């Protein structure tokens, strides 16, 4: 059981980290609480399914096309829906909720409400310290680690990353220093949704695909992001590890654990917030005026 | 005769002078008079639900719009009211007329508790933390189905009244009373303090306002109203199920609130009265019944692109203008202010302004 907890926790943490880091990025740069973030993850899973099962493409090609298409689509959504109401925080909030609902309903209409299974990308298992890990889960882990490393590289070793961090730090000053903050925000949207889409593509063969698959990870992702501190990459990563393992422990060790896993994760988030209102790694900034 | 003349004078000078107030009066009269004219069980059912959700949306607005505590888990209070009231009436056999109040009371306590836990949080942290509470409760309900009925909830509740018309009047009168009460509260000195807490909490505290106490009070009041609506709702549809706690309901109230226009009380109520019957009506068509949530979301999105501050403020700005001198509101078609006689439009004729200023006693 211990090995199960270790492996499941790590794999789930990887997926959550991909989602949470993307969400955290876009919140940090554009102050958008993007409720539709996991809806893009769902869209990517459906896109992957359509290309793979209906379109008959190969795994790698289908995955790449799905991620690219969803990312391009997200930039379009941002330009058409979010940008016109950027000044009104409340309007942005429900615009993203409405987007998520629209995606859910569109998928419900075109694919139906039943669960769709996707054949495993990689068959077979690897034995590791006496635990058998399916290759598919190993793939999730590898992809998540690679993507997180890529994001780290992008943020800390490139000019675009510098611009993103500067904009997140102080939008007005970044603008005054000659950065095109609109374009930076758009690039951030693309990066953040690409991460979500990659998560959607790699988990699709393991989890089931249905139009409501965005809700459960949404709540967990929000819990992780708040737990780690809004806008903090390191916080999102460590938050993902904490919540991933807590969920795994609850599911394997408690009776009725499957029902309680969300509740326990959220309880931990609330407990952390009570002790540290700005999250584990959030910066306790003075009130913005 | 005097009281009647007094009422008429109040009506003429306070309500009928402004188109928005006239609209609200007409709406209230229409709401109360509808069953006398058009007594259709289906329509009454939809309007009853609309009224209950209107209480819910207005209570969210007091908390999120006025005080700035944007609550993403408002369904918790609704569900607390619904479950308390139905458990009491089901397990203890108490009359629903009493348990509804108990539901509101428990919701008040829950609201106070959530507010207490969230006192140090602000902004997005508060929104996302409050989202967690109903889900924690939901997890517990599913884990202990013996007590809560699990996924099915508690069904077979008694109704407050027997006929659809009676139930409709209970909901309508409760809605008018609660919404008007919340509006009065939000318009009072208390409401002004809430605006201050939202706009700048540090400055409010520096001015000697005990902001934690105000925040707790608003959490409790808002939760009480939401719990009351939840209890009435449970007894009306005769089931208190997990759907009263779901994220969908919490998001729904956020959509209603922002769509209608925050910090107005009447805005969210107007939004519920537009959107809820609309979705039900769309659902009644066989062909597009499946599309109703999609249409709903698209409408919300489109309306928002054109009225980012919400529906009610937009309409209000169209039919009323603010006097540049005394900041009072006037009907849009007036050329001089009804109170201070200042010209409202650039092209107000001199003689008209002079006449109005003589009337209101200006030099």
**Overall number of domains in chain A:** 1
Q: Is B184 within 8 Å of B39 (Cβ atoms)?
A: no
CB-based contact B135 A101, cutoff 8 Å: no
**What pLDDT, on a 0 to 100 scale, did the predictor assign at position B43?**
92
Quick check: is A193 in a domain? Answer: yes
Q: With an 8 Å Cβ cutoff, is A53 touching chain B?
A: no
- Which residue range forms the structural domain that includes residue A70? 2-111+131-288
| Main-chain phi, psi angles of A231, to 5 degrees | 85, 0
Quick check: is A126 in a domain? Answer: no
Nearest to A269 among B132, B138, B254 (CB): B132
Beta-bridge mates of residue B321: B330
Quick check: is A117 in a domain? Answer: no
CB-based contact B125 A230, cutoff 8 Å: yes
Q: What CATH number is associated with residue A241?
A: 1.10.3470
Quick check: is A36 in a domain? Answer: yes
Quick check: is A170 in a domain? Answer: yes
Quick check: is A143 in a domain? Answer: yes
Q: With an 8 Å Cβ cutoff, is B161 touching chain A?
A: no
Confidence of residue A289 (pLDDT cuts 50, 70, 90): very low
Q: Which residues make Cβ contacts (< 8 Å) with residue B178, sequence separation at least 6? A: B55, B58, B59, B225, B228, B229
Search chain B and give the residue with CA nearest A96.
B301
Which residue out of B65, B117, B297, B314 would a mutagenesis test of the A interface target, given it has the greatest number of A Cβ atoms within 10 Å? B297
Question: What is the C-alpha separation between B63 and B126, in angstroms, rounded?
Answer: 12
pTM for this prediction: 0.89
**What pLDDT, on a 0 to 100 scale, did the predictor assign at position A287?**
43
Q: With an 8 Å Cβ cutoff, is B77 touching chain A?
A: no
| Distance of residue A222 Cα from the nearest chain B Cα, in angstroms | 7
Confidence of residue A168 (pLDDT cuts 50, 70, 90): confident
Q: How many CB atoms lie within 10 A of CB B259?
A: 28
Q: With an 8 Å Cβ cutoff, is A226 touching chain B?
A: yes
pLDDT tens track for A210-268: 888 888 889 899 889 888 888 788 889 999 999 999 988 888 887 777 778 888 888 88
CB-based contact B117 A105, cutoff 8 Å: no
Quick check: is A118 in a domain? Answer: no
Residue among B54, B90, B105, B109 at smallest CA distance from B238: B90
Residues of A in contact with B279 (CB under 8 A): none
Q: Is B57 within 8 Å of B261 (Cβ atoms)?
A: no
From A83-97, A180-194, B26-40, B204-218, the region with the lowest mean pLDDT:
A83-97
Q: Which residues make Cβ contacts (< 8 Å) with residue B14, sequence separation at least 6? A: B21
- Rounded mean pLDDT of chain A? 87
Q: How many CB atoms lie within 10 A of CB A225?
A: 32
CB-based contact B143 A215, cutoff 8 Å: no
pLDDT, tens digit only, all 363 positions of chain B: 788 999 999 888 888 888 889 999 999 999 999 999 988 889 999 999 999 999 999 999 999 999 989 999 999 999 999 999 999 998 888 898 999 999 999 999 999 999 998 888 878 888 888 988 998 898 888 888 877 777 888 888 888 888 889 999 999 999 999 999 999 999 999 999 999 999 988 999 999 999 999 999 999 999 999 999 999 999 999 999 898 888 889 989 999 998 998 889 999 999 999 999 998 888 888 777 778 888 888 888 888 888 888 899 999 988 988 888 888 888 888 888 887 777 777 666 777 777 777 766 654
C-alpha dist (Å) from residue B78 to A3, A43, B71, B149: 42, 32, 13, 17
Q: With an 8 Å Cβ cutoff, is A222 touching chain B?
A: yes
**What pLDDT, on a 0 to 100 scale, did the predictor assign at position A288?**
46
Search chain B and give the residue with CA nearest A215.
B247
Confidence of residue A286 (pLDDT cuts 50, 70, 90): very low
Percent of chain A whose predicted confidence (pLDDT) is above 90 = 42
Quick check: is A121 in a domain? Answer: no
**What pLDDT, on a 0 to 100 scale, did the predictor assign at position B348?**
64
CB-based contact A226 B125, cutoff 8 Å: yes
| Distance of residue B132 Cα from the nearest chain A Cα, in angstroms | 6
Residues of B in contact with A280 (CB under 8 A): none
Torsion over CA: B213, B214, B215, B221 (sign): positive
Q: How many CB pairs under 8 A join A and B?
A: 129
| Distance of residue B225 Cα from the nearest chain A Cα, in angstroms | 23
Nearest to A219 among B201, B247, B304 (CB): B247
């Amino acid at each position: 059981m211990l090995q199960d907890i270790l492996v499941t926790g790590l794999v789930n943490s990887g997926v959550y980290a991909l989602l949470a880091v993307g969400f955290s990025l876009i919140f940090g740069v554009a102050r958008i609480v993007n409720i539709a973030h996991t809806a893009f993850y769902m869209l990517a899973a459906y896109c992957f399914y359509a290309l793979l099962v209906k379109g008959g493409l190969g795994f790698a090609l289908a995955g790449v096309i799905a991620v690219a298409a969803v990312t391009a689509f997200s930039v379009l959504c941002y330009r058409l829906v979010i940008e016109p109401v950027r000044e009104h925080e409340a309007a942005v909030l429900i615009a993203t909720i409405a987007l998520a609902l629209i995606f859910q309903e569109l998928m419900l209409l075109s694919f139906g409400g039943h669960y769709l299974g996707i054949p495993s990308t990689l068959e077979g298992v690897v034995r590791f310290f006496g635990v058998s890990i399916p290759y598919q889960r190993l793939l999730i882990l590898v992809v998540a680690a690679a993507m997180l490393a890529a994001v780290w590289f992008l943020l800390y070793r490139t000019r675009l990353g510098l611009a993103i961090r500067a904009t997140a730090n102080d939008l007005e000053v970044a603008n005054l220093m000659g950065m095109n903050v609109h374009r930076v925000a758009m690039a951030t949207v693309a990066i953040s949704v690409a991460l979500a889409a990659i998560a959607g593509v790699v988990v699709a063969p393991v989890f089931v695909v249905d139009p409501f698959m965005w809700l459960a990870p949404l709540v967990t992702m929000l819990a992780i992001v708040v737990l780690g501190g809004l806008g903090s990459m390191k916080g999102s990563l460590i938050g993902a590890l904490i919540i991933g393992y807590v969920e795994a422990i609850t599911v394997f060790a408690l009776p009725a654990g499957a029902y309680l896993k969300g509740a326990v994760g959220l309880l931990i988030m609330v407990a952390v917030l009570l002790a540290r209102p700005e999250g584990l790694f959030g910066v306790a900034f003075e009130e913005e005026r | 005769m005097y009281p009647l003349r007094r009422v008429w004078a109040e009506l003429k000078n306070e309500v009928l002078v402004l188109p928005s107030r006239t609209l609200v009066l007409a709406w209230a009269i229409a709401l109360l008079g509808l069953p006398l004219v058009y007594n259709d069980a289906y329509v009454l059912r939809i309007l009853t639900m609309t009224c209950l959700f209107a209480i819910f949306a207005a209570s969210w607005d007091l908390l999120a719009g006025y005080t700035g505590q944007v609550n993403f888990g408002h369904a918790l209070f609704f569900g607390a009211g619904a479950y308390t009231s139905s458990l009491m009436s089901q397990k203890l056999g108490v009359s629903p007329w009493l348990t509804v109040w108990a539901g509101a009371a428990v919701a008040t306590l829950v609201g106070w508790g959530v507010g207490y836990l969230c006192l140090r949080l602000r902004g997005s942290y508060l929104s996302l933390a409050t989202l967690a509470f109903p889900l924690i409760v939901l997890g517990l309900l599913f884990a202990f189905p013996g007590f809560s009925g699990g996924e099915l909830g508690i069904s077979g509740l008694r109704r407050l009244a027997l006929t659809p018309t009676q139930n409709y009047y209970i909901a309508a009168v409760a809605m008018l009373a609660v919404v008007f009460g919340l509006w009065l509260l939000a318009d009072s000195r208390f409401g002004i303090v809430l605006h201050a807490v939202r706009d700048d909490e540090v400055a409010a505290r520096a001015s000697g306002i005990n902001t934690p106490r105000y925040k707790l009070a608003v959490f409790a009041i808002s939760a009480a109203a939401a719990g009351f609506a939840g209890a009435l709702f449970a007894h009306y549809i005769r089931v208190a199920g997990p759907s009263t706690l779901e994220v969908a309901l919490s998001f729904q109230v956020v959509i209603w609130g922002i769509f209608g226009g925050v910090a107005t009380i009447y805005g969210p109520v107007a939004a519920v009265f537009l959107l809820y019957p609309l979705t039900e009506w769309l659902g009644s068509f066989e062909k597009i019944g499946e599309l109703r949530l999609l249409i709903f979301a698209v409408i919300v999105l489109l309306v928002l692109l054109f009225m980012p501050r919400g529906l009610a403020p937009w309409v209000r700005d169209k039919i009323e203008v603010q006097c540049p001198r005394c900041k009072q509101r006037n009907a849009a078609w007036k050329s001089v202010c009804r109170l201070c006689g200042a010209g409202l439009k650039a092209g107000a004729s001199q003689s008209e302004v002079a006449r109005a200023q003589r009337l209101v006693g200006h030099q």
